[in-house]
């Protein structure tokens, strides 16, 4: 069994599969995970705030940044995670598999960490284009797994801390020949066949020529000759075949590895970042979203058809109902249009990562709620016409209600709101996720 | 596949390290528990079982299929490319890695788009031809890099000679 593990580990020897690579890639991956966690928590609490929480409304594009970074860092995790797992793959084949009781926990935590990370970035990616081919709810699982992942990352860093310290710097990791300095525990001895071949080569014998049964050789090398020959048995032969594979040149191999991982990371960010980073728009090749398309020149997340509002939103008798202290005041579309109109540039920033600046015209929310007597300390419960959905009814904190840029928008990019963008009227506030920019407004209730 | 030339080093674990380590492991375990609690609190048991199959499946697909395949391909390439300079192999491998990870990211988009998106602003591009173009571009870049690499190598060799 031990020989089998050694054989497996020899077969995957590479100048890049070592603790130094794991530390160097791990630092980047850990940073990406941390960025994803913090931006993710920000997004989570924007959507499900505790009652005492208040959020900044400036810069108006704050959420564009945090969520764009969340998704972009998440995409960058693909090459980094695979590079990390590539670097440590031989560690899977240790013998004995468990040396101390603590290692049971260590291995279990790594298994959890790897599994949760793979599922997290893959389902996160698919969520960016509304694809959910799995038997669990995305939002809740993504949130819970985030804690599991950051927790198992902390455990992993704790367990590996001495290794991380040992290989933190490149100059402590390689000897003067540029060879990796391994841990004594990690050394895999060369195979007997390999040792034998080296011994024969040192004595100027050609090991392959000695395989010919007719060749006569001195008795003192006979044990080496026997051991240099391919072993019997299928597995033995395969390992022997791999063992004879020429080694790669370490410098070239390392450069290739860095080029591959760096190239993929930069390439993925560059070719998908355009969905939220305006400057990358022209090279948006693979992102699930493209800026500037759709009705009102803006992409749509949930269509009027999907929200089942095609009839209610186009009903001529539509009114927006404002409620405060049990009293209801209604505003027809004509009423809203007759009020003073304000124009603001505010972005639509989706939880799925895409975002785009929009130019909105409509009634200042502050003015509208003041018309029904609301004070500055009150917040709102906003209801949409949509039949169902997690965001049909949402709360809006007073920081957004009082913000002068928050509008009940009637126009977008110079034209009347398209029905897919929330006709007859929608909410648009600074620094909030798109799901909270309620479309197809039905009622606004002023609450304490 | 030789042993490392050095005898290897032993790790030293200082007192400070031990303290930080303990703090990290305890904090990490608590965060895992918090995640588990959030999971149980917000997700139905049936869905948690579904998630478990995905978690186990992810490890099996990665450790049982993808990683061994990478090992096999790498060994076969080195065998087949015995007479090919290592740099050329490295350039080709880098190209394959870049293309493969892009493929992993883009193929779900192709599948999703084939299943009729809810609205035309989600997945607006034709991702399959774009992916094919990417592979073509990678092939061209790999080819040019190999040419440049071989020329530089030949020039260096002639200078040394």
Contact B1 A146 (CB under 8 A): no
Interface of B with A in 62-101 (CB under 8 A): 62-63, 67, 70-71, 74-75, 78-79, 82, 86-87, 89-91, 93-94, 97-98, 101
Q: Phi and psi at residue A61, in whole multiples of 5°?
A: -95, 15
**Closest partner residue to A151 among B9, B13, B28, by Cβ?**
B28
B142 in a structural domain: yes
Based on the fold, state whether residues A217 and A308 are members of the same structural domain. Answer: no
Contact A183 B10 (CB under 8 A): yes
Based on the fold, state whether residues A108 and A174 are members of the same structural domain. Answer: yes
Find all residues with CB under 8 Å of A339, minimum gap 6, and list them: A363, A367, A368
Q: Which domain holds residue B61?
A: 21-80
The string over A214-248, giving b where at least 16 C-beta atoms fall within 10 Å of a residue's C-beta and e elsewhere, is eeeeeeebeebbebbeeeeeeebeebbebbbbeeb
Q: CA dist B12 to A88, A162, A168, A285, B4, Å?
A: 21, 7, 14, 49, 20
Q: Which residue of B has its CA nearest to A176?
A: B6
**Averaged confidence pLDDT in chain B:** 90
A86 touching B (Cβ < 8 Å): yes
**How does pLDDT run along chain A (448 residues), one tens digit per residue?**
777 888 888 888 888 889 999 999 999 999 999 999 999 999 999 999 998 999 999 999 999 999 999 999 999 999 999 999 999 988 888 877 788 877 888 888 899 999 999 999 999 999 999 999 999 999 999 999 999 999 999 999 999 999 999 999 999 999 888 888 988 888 888 888 888 888 888 888 877 777 777 777 777 777 787 788 777 788 888 888 887 777 778 888 888 899 999 999 999 999 999 999 999 999 999 999 999 999 999 999 999 999 999 999 999 999 999 999 989 999 999 999 999 999 999 999 999 999 999 999 999 999 999 999 888 889 999 999 998 888 999 999 999 999 999 999 999 999 999 999 999 999 999 999 999 999 999 999 999 8
Question: What ipTM was assigned to the predicted interfaces of this complex?
Answer: 0.92
Based on the fold, state whether residues A335 and A366 are members of the same structural domain. Answer: yes
Find all residues with CB under 8 Å of A234, minimum gap 6, and list them: none
Which of A93, A89, A85, A91 has the alpha carbon at shortest distance from A118? A85
Which of A210, A234, A235, A232 has the alpha carbon at shortest distance from A223? A210
A438 in a structural domain: yes
**Residue with tokens 């398209």, as numbered in its chain:** A418
Q: What angle do CA A129, A131, A132 make, to 5 degrees?
A: 145
Find all residues with CB under 8 Å of B149, minimum gap 6, and list them: B85, B87, B88, B91
Q: Which residues of A touch B98 (CB under 8 A)?
A: 260, 263-264, 267
**Closest partner residue to B29 among A144, A146, A151, by Cβ?**
A151
Based on the fold, state whether residues A74 and A199 are members of the same structural domain. Answer: no
Based on the fold, state whether residues A437 and A384 are members of the same structural domain. Answer: yes
Contact between A349 and A61 under an 8 Å Cβ cutoff? The reply is yes
Based on the fold, state whether residues A334 and A410 are members of the same structural domain. Answer: yes
Asked which of A186, A212, A228 is the last residue of a domain, the reply is A186
Q: What is the pLDDT of residue B117?
A: 62
B95 in a structural domain: yes
The string over A69-102, giving b where at least 16 C-beta atoms fall within 10 Å of a residue's C-beta and e elsewhere, is bbbbbbbbbbbbbbbbbbbbbbebbeeeeeeeee
**Residue with tokens 């690579």, as numbered in its chain:** A21
B30 in a structural domain: yes
Q: What is the pLDDT of residue B4?
A: 44
Asked which of A204, A226, A243 is the last residue of a domain, the reply is A243
Q: Which residues of A touch B111 (CB under 8 A)?
A: 131
Distance of CA B43 to the CA centre of its chain: 30
**Residue with tokens 């007759």, as numbered in its chain:** A338
Contact between A140 and B51 under an 8 Å Cβ cutoff? The reply is no
Contact B78 A246 (CB under 8 A): yes
Which token pair is A335?
């009423």
B6 in a structural domain: no
Contact between A205 and A211 under an 8 Å Cβ cutoff? The reply is no
Nearest-Cα distance to chain A for B58, in Å, is 6
- Number of structural domains chain A divides into: 3
Which token pair is A59?
């810069």
What single-letter DSSP state applies at residue A136?
S
pTM of the model: 0.92
B147 touching A (Cβ < 8 Å): no
Q: Which residues of B touch A294 (CB under 8 A)?
A: 119-121
- Number of structural domains chain B divides into: 2
Based on the fold, state whether residues A402 and A326 are members of the same structural domain. Answer: yes
B4 in a structural domain: no
A287 in a structural domain: no
Cα-only R_g, chain B: 24
Contact B1 A185 (CB under 8 A): no
Q: What is the pLDDT of residue B1?
A: 38
Q: Which residues of B touch A183 (CB under 8 A)?
A: 8-11
Which token pair is B88?
């050329």
Contact A140 B38 (CB under 8 A): yes
Based on the fold, state whether residues A145 and A14 are members of the same structural domain. Answer: yes
Based on the fold, state whether residues A82 and A201 are members of the same structural domain. Answer: no
A195 touching B (Cβ < 8 Å): no
- CA diameter of chain A: 109
What single-letter DSSP state applies at residue A61?
T
Based on the fold, state whether residues A310 and A382 are members of the same structural domain. Answer: yes
Based on the fold, state whether residues A40 and A176 are members of the same structural domain. Answer: yes
Half-sphere exposure in the Cβ direction for A396 (13 Å, CA)? 34
A268 in a structural domain: no
Cα–Cα distance for residue pair A406/A55, rounded to 1 Å: 14
Based on the fold, state whether residues B65 and B87 are members of the same structural domain. Answer: no
Q: Which domain holds residue A127?
A: 2-186
Based on the fold, state whether residues B76 and B99 are members of the same structural domain. Answer: no
Report how many Cβ contacts below 8 Å link chain A to chain B.
280
Based on the fold, state whether residues B73 and B104 are members of the same structural domain. Answer: no
Cα–Cα distance for residue pair A84/B99, rounded to 1 Å: 18
Based on the fold, state whether residues A344 and A439 are members of the same structural domain. Answer: yes
Contact between A379 and A447 under an 8 Å Cβ cutoff? The reply is yes
Based on the fold, state whether residues B30 and B103 are members of the same structural domain. Answer: no
**How does pLDDT run along chain B (161 residues), one tens digit per residue?**
344 455 788 888 889 999 999 999 999 999 999 999 999 999 999 999 999 999 999 999 999 999 999 988 888 888 777 778 888 988 999 999 999 999 999 999 999 999 876 688 999 999 999 999 999 999 999 999 999 999 998 998 888 77
């Amino acid at each position: 069994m031990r020989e089998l593990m050694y054989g497996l580990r020899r077969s995957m020897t590479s100048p890049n599969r070592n603790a130094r690579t794991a530390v160097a890639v791990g630092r980047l991956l850990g940073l990406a995970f941390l960025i994803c966690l913090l931006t993710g928590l920000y997004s989570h609490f924007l959507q499900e705030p505790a009652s005492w929480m208040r959020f900044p409304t400036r810069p108006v594009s704050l959420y564009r940044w945090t969520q764009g970074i969340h998704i972009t860092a998440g995409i960058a995790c693909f090459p980094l995670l695979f590079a990390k797992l590539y670097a440590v793959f031989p560690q899977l084949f240790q013998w004995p598999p468990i040396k101390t009781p603590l290692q049971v926990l260590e291995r279990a935590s790594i298994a959890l960490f790897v599994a949760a990370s793979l599922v997290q970035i893959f389902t996160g990616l698919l969520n960016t284009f509304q694809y959910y081919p799995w038997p669990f709810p995305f939002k809740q699982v993504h949130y819970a797994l985030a804690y599991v992942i950051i927790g198992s990352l902390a455990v992993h860093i704790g367990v590996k801390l001495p290794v991380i310290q040992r290989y933190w710097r490149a100059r402590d990791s390689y000897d003067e020949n540029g060879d990796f300095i391994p841990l004594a525990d990690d050394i895999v001895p060369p195979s007997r066949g390999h040792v034998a071949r080296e011994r024969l080569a040192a004595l100027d014998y050609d090991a392959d020529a000695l395989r010919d049964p007719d060749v006569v050789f001195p008795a003192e090398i006979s044990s080496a000759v026997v051991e240099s020959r391919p072993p019997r048995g299928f597995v033995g032969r395969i390992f022997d075949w791999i063992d004879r594979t020429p080694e790669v040149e370490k410098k070239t191999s390392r450069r290739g590895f860095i080029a591959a991982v760096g190239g993929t990371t930069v390439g993925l960010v560059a070719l998908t970042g355009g969905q939220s980073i305006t400057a990358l728009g022209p090279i948006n090749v693979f992102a699930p979203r493209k800026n500037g398309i759709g009705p009102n020149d803006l992409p749509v997340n949930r269509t009027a058809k999907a929200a089942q509002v095609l009839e209610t939103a186009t009903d001529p008798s539509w009114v927006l109902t404002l409620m405060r202290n049990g009293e209801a005041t209604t505003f027809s579309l004509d009423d809203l249009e007759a009020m003073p109109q304000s124009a603001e540039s505010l972005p639509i920033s989706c939880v799925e990562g895409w975002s785009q600046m929009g130019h909105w015209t409509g009634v200042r929310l502050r003015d509208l709620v003041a018309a029904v007597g609301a004070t500055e300390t009150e917040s709102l419960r906003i209801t949409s016409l949509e039949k169902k959905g997690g965001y049909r009814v949402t709360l809006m904190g007073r920081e957004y209600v009082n913000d002068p840029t928050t509008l009940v928008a009637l126009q977008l990019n110079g034209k009347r709101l398209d029905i897919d963008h929330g006709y007859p009227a929608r909410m648009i506030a600074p620094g909030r996720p798109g799901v909270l920019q309620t479309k197809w407004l039905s009622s606004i209730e002023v609450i304490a | 596949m030789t042993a490392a030339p050095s005898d290897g080093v032993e790790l030293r674990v200082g007192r400070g390290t031990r303290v930080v380590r303990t703090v990290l492991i305890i904090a990490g375990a608590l965060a895992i528990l918090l995640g588990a609690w959030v999971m149980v609190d917000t997700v139905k048991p049936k869905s948690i079982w579904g998630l478990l199959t995905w978690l186990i499946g992810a490890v099996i697909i990665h450790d049982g299929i993808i990683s061994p395949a990478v090992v096999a391909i790498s060994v076969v390439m080195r065998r087949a490319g015995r007479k090919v300079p290592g740099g050329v192999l490295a350039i080709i491998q880098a190209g394959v890695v870049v293309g493969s990870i892009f493929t992993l990211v883009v193929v779900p988009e192709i599948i999703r788009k084939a299943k009729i998106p809810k609205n035309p602003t989600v997945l607006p591009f034709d991702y399959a031809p774009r992916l094919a173009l990417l592979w073509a571009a990678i092939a061209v870049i790999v080819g040019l890099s190999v040419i440049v690499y071989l020329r530089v190598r030949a020039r260096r060799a002639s200078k040394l000679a």
